[in-house]
């Protein structure tokens, strides 16, 4: 059943044609196609995961051309965990978008293109193929950010496109340098060829720096994050939740693959400066991202800066080149995707009844929307790293690994980031529960209630059922994943042991 | 290698560096969105040139294999890769221009500074 592997990309890519093609005949074509495809994707992902758990790593030669000449798709346990994550997030977002919109068939085509792109990034074993999938992901994301027709979103999308394309092109240039050095593009083959060329030759080191810079732009590490807050804040809620959960995750996964599969730990011991620099850049990203998150008043912008910080932590864990820290990074990568998707859906729900998405709009919502507020608070504390949630498991492993690898700075930064994360989430939780609306606010909320009974549609009186279910589900899974963290680690371990 | 030899034998790499530099400068320096996209295209073309030049073998024939002939061939792989990358670049330009049309319709300008002023006035 190795055929399931290419189908993970082929099916969403092919299905992306239907919403546009059938949209003129049937207005619900987009949603129906996306829902069926997401379920199919989950089925295929579980087949792949089953195969990996039963018999370990396997690969598929695209078009029957044997690697290293042909393109190879590889599945190991890290891939398996991530494809299942992609399917689950896709299903949740498709369910959420049914009510929350955007209500256009083109939106679902773009969503499915994005699913194909991130699935491709996760399963490919070829550097140039990875570039193509990164660009498919990018193109779909640029279109999705501008999906709600607002001019501010279009502007944010153009900026994202300019910066994102420069990132992808730098990545391509890095691939070119490695190709010139070795004459191969296959990741496993490159790992064998690079030592012969010499890890410390300028060509190889420059190639590494270009690849990492390109991917750091896509991951949105400080100071290459400038595209990200606008893109997250201006896009529709369902789009923000989807891209916050998967797009940066795919880029961070690519950083992991290239550092470990292509360059391996021996590169780190020959050129320690390269990875130390990456670890430092990531650590600075953690601090600056958290501080910028604390000073934001727009909730979505705050969560966007929070992503800058969390991905800094993940990349730092990858760059310290220690097995425990790497496991922690991958656990946090998965956990972060689940928590951020839930948080953005919760913000979408809360904003729909509050009529705004600044933190002062959240005052007193704990009583008006108890379920979603509780979900938001749970996810917030999970991301801070309160045990037993998944955020704790990931951060704990990163700190442990960083300290045992002698990278004290990363360990300290991770602990500081936890406190800063608490700082920016406490502001929201306090407003949700512990601050009663002032008399002026009460008057306006009375007025808004009158407006809604008069038939105004700007503000909903209650949050939709699907939003409540999705937020509750992601809060429960953040805790369940945390309780099952040791199982998750034992699934990931066989794929990571080979690197050390 | 003397500078003169560098210019005569490795000129394609000098052009590559120049194009990448000019392109990046265009993206960063210009406040006009369309000019930024043009800069982006120049930047990408520079990288394409690097790949294509790397496949060139001095005195070699184009990679069309004939029966019995045993000459040196230029490497076709980088050329094929860049064929793909050109397609990606064209689609990116199309998306960028489509978005810019929407920005222009809403703000009546392509200049970033003017757009920022319009946004502040709203």
Whether B63 contacts B33, CB under 8 Å = no
Distance of CA B21 to the CA centre of its chain: 11
Chain A residues within 8 A of B40 when measuring between CB atoms: 162, 165-166
Select from 3.30.70.1140, 1.10.287.3510, 2.60.40.10, 1.20.1630.10 the CATH code of B1-119.
1.10.287.3510
Burial class (CB in 10 A: 0-12, 13-18, 19+), A456: exposed
Return the pLDDT at A459: 59
CA distances from A202 to A67, A199, A248, A278 (A): 27, 9, 29, 17
**Can you tell me the distance from the alpha carbon of A404 to that of A281, in angstroms, rounded to the nearest whole number?**
20
Return the pLDDT at A450: 44
The owner of tokens 């992991």 is A256
Q: Is B73 on the interface with A (CB under 8 A)?
A: no
Q: Is B54 on the interface with A (CB under 8 A)?
A: yes
**Can you tell me the distance from the alpha carbon of A74 to that of A281, in angstroms, rounded to the nearest whole number?**
30
Chain A residues within 8 A of B106 when measuring between CB atoms: 151, 154
Nearest CA-CA partner of A399 in A474, A457, A461, A317: A317
Phi, psi (degrees; rounded to nearest 5) at B57: -115, 130
**Count of all residues that appear for chain A in the document:** 500
In this structure, is residue A352 part of a structural domain? yes
Count of CB atoms within 10 A of residue B31's CB? 13
Q: Please judge whether B50 and A135 are an interchain contact, meaning their C-beta atoms are less than 8 angstroms apart.
A: no
- Best of A132, A166, A175, A211 to disrupt the B interface by mutation (most B CBs within 10 Å)? A166
Chain A residues within 8 A of B84 when measuring between CB atoms: 128, 132
- Please give the interface size between A and B, counted as residue pairs whose CB atoms are below 8 Å apart: 70
**Can you tell me the distance from the alpha carbon of A464 to that of A137, in angstroms, rounded to the nearest whole number?**
30
Whether A56 contacts A63, CB under 8 Å = no
Phi, psi (degrees; rounded to nearest 5) at B71: -105, 175
In this structure, is residue A337 part of a structural domain? yes
Q: Is B109 on the interface with A (CB under 8 A)?
A: no
Note the ipTM here.
0.93
In this structure, is residue A228 part of a structural domain? no
B24, B27, B88: residue with CB nearest A132? B88
Nearest CA-CA partner of A108 in A278, A249, A239, A287: A239
Q: Please judge whether A179 and B27 are an interchain contact, meaning their C-beta atoms are less than 8 angstroms apart.
A: no
CA distance B69 to chain A (A): 23
The DSSP string of A130-198 is HHHHHHHHHHHHHHHHTTT--HHHHHHHHHHHHHHHHHHHHHHHHHHHHHHHHS--BHHHHHHHHHHH-
Domain boundaries in chain B? 1-119
Structure tokens at A109: 């085509």
Q: List pLDDT tens digits, range A375-402.
A: 999 999 999 988 888 989 999 999 999 9
Q: List pLDDT tens digits, range A18-54.
A: 888 887 888 788 888 899 999 999 999 999 999 888 8
Whether B37 contacts B93, CB under 8 Å = yes
CA distance A146 to chain B (A): 8
SS3 B73: strand
Q: Please judge whether A169 and B115 are an interchain contact, meaning their C-beta atoms are less than 8 angstroms apart.
A: no
**Count of all residues that appear for chain B in the document:** 122
Radius of gyration of chain B (CA): 20
Question: Which chain B residue lies closest to A173 (C-alpha atoms)?
Answer: B47
Whether A307 contacts A218, CB under 8 Å = no
Q: Please judge whether A151 and B51 are an interchain contact, meaning their C-beta atoms are less than 8 angstroms apart.
A: no
Residues forming beta bridges with residue A59, ordered by sequence position? A74
The owner of tokens 């992306």 is A16
Radius of gyration of chain A (CA): 22
Segments of chain B scoring below 50 in pLDDT: none
Nearest CA-CA partner of B29 in A162, A318, A182, A297: A162
Question: Which residues form the domain of A489?
Answer: 271-494
Q: Please judge whether A135 and B95 are an interchain contact, meaning their C-beta atoms are less than 8 angstroms apart.
A: no
Q: Please judge whether A169 and B43 are an interchain contact, meaning their C-beta atoms are less than 8 angstroms apart.
A: yes
Cis amide leading into A58 (omega within 30): no
Question: Which chain A residue lies closest to B52 (C-alpha atoms)?
Answer: A176
CA distance A320 to chain B (A): 31
In this structure, is residue A313 part of a structural domain? yes
A158, A172, A180: residue with CB nearest B96? A158
- Best of B23, B79, B99 to disrupt the A interface by mutation (most A CBs within 10 Å)? B99
Whether A378 contacts A479, CB under 8 Å = yes
In this structure, is residue A84 part of a structural domain? no
Query: SS3 helix, strand, coil % of chain B, rounded to 5?
Result: 75, 5, 25
- Best of B79, B102, B112 to disrupt the A interface by mutation (most A CBs within 10 Å)? B102
Segments of chain A scoring below 70 in pLDDT: 1, 437-460
Chain A residues within 8 A of B82 when measuring between CB atoms: none
| 3-state SS, one letter per residue, for A369-399 | CHHHHHHHHHHHHHHHCCCCCHHHHHHHHHH
Return the pLDDT at A1: 56
Q: Is B107 on the interface with A (CB under 8 A)?
A: yes
b/e map A328-338, b = 16+ CB within 10 Å: bbbbbbbbbbb
Q: What is the dihedral of CA A125, A128, A129, A130, to 10 degrees?
A: 70
Structure tokens at A382: 């999970």
Q: Which long-range contacts (CB under 8 A, 24 or more apart) does A62-69 make?
A: A62/A6, A67/A125, A67/A126, A67/A186, A67/A188, A67/A189, A68/A184, A68/A185, A68/A186, A68/A188, A68/A189
Residues forming beta bridges with residue A58, ordered by sequence position? A75
Chain B residues within 8 A of A143 when measuring between CB atoms: 95
Return the pLDDT at A443: 46
Cis amide leading into B35 (omega within 30): no
Q: Please judge whether A158 and B88 are an interchain contact, meaning their C-beta atoms are less than 8 angstroms apart.
A: no
CA distance B106 to chain A (A): 6
A149, A161, A179: residue with CB nearest B96? A161
Structural domain total, chain A: 1
Chain A residues within 8 A of B33 when measuring between CB atoms: 158
In this structure, is residue A139 part of a structural domain? no
Q: Is B81 on the interface with A (CB under 8 A)?
A: yes
CA distances from A425 to A292, A345, A381, A451, A463 (A): 13, 16, 8, 31, 21
**Can you tell me the distance from the alpha carbon of A84 to that of A80, in angstroms, rounded to the nearest whole number?**
6
SS3 A74: strand
Which residues neighbour A23 within 8 Å (Cβ) at sequence distance 6 or greater? Answer: A29, A30, A105, A106
| DSSP category for residue A59 | E
């Amino acid at each position: 059943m190795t055929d399931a592997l290419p189908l993970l990309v082929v099916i969403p890519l092919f299905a992306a044609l239907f919403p546009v093609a059938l949209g003129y005949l049937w207005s619900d074509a987009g949603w129906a196609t996306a829902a069926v495809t997401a379920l199919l994707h989950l089925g295929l992902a579980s087949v792949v995961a089953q195969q990996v758990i039963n018999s370990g790593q396997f690969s598929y030669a695209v078009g029957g051309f044997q690697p290293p000449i042909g393109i190879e798709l590889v599945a190991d346990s890290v891939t398996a965990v991530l494809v299942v994550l992609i399917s689950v997030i896709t299903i949740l977002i498709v369910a959420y978008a049914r009510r929350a919109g955007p209500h256009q068939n083109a939106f679902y085509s773009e969503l499915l293109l994005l699913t194909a792109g991130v699935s491709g990034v996760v399963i490919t074993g070829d550097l140039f193929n990875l570039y193509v999938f990164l660009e498919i992901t990018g193109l779909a994301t640029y279109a999705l950010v501008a999906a709600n027709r607002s001019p501010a979103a279009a502007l944010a999308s153009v900026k994202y496109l300019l910066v994102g394309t420069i990132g992808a092109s730098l990545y391509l240039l890095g691939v070119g340098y490695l190709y010139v050095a070795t004459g191969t593009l296959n990741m496993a083959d490159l790992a064998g060829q690079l030592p012969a060329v010499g890890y410390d030759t300028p060509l190889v080191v420059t190639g590494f720096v270009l690849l990492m810079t390109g991917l750091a732009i896509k991951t949105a590490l400080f100071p290459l994050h400038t595209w990200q807050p606008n893109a997250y804040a201006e896009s529709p809620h369902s789009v923000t939740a989807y891209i916050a959960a998967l797009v940066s995750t795919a880029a961070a996964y690519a950083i992991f693959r290239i550092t470990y599969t292509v360059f391996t730990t021996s590169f780190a011991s020959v050129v320690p400066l390269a990875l130390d620099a990456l670890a430092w850049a990531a650590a600075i990203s953690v601090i600056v991202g958290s501080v910028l998150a604390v000073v934001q008043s727009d909730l979505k912008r705050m969560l966007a800066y929070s992503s800058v910080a969390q991905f800094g932590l993940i990349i730092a864990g990858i760059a310290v080149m220690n097995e425990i820290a790497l496991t922690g990074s991958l656990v946090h990568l998965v956990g972060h995707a689940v928590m951020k998707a839930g948080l953005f859906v919760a913000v979408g729900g809360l904003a729909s009844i509050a009529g705004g998405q600044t933190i002062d709009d959240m005052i007193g919502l704990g009583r008006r929307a108890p379920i979603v507020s509780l979900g938001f608070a749970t996810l917030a504390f999970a991301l801070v790293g309160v045990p037993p949630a998944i955020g704790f498991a990931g951060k704990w492993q990163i700190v442990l690994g960083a300290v045992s690898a002698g990278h004290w700075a990363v360990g300290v930064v991770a602990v500081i980031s936890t406190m800063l994360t608490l700082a920016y989430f406490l502001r929201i939780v306090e407003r949700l529960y512990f601050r009663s609306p002032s008399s002026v606010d009460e008057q306006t909320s009375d007025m808004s209630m009158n407006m809604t009974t008069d038939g105004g549609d700007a503000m909903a009186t209650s949050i939709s059922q699907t939003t409540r279910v999705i937020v509750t589900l992601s809060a429960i899974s953040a805790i369940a994943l945390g309780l099952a963290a040791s199982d998750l680690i034992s699934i990931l371990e066989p794929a990571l042991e080979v690197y050390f | 290698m003397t500078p003169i030899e560098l210019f005569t034998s490795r000129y394609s790499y000098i052009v590559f560096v120049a194009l990448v530099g000019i392109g990046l400068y265009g993206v960063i320096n210009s406040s006009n969105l369309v000019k930024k996209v043009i800069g982006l295209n120049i930047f990408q073309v520079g990288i394409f040139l690097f790949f294509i030049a790397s496949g060139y073998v001095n005195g070699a024939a184009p990679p069309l294999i004939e029966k019995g002939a045993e000459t040196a061939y230029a490497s076709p792989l980088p050329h094929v890769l860049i064929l793909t990358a050109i397609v990606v670049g064209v689609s990116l330009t199309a998306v960028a221009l489509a978005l810019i049309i929407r920005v222009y319709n809403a703000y009546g300008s392509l200049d970033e500074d003017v757009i920022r002023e319009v946004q502040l006035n709203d």
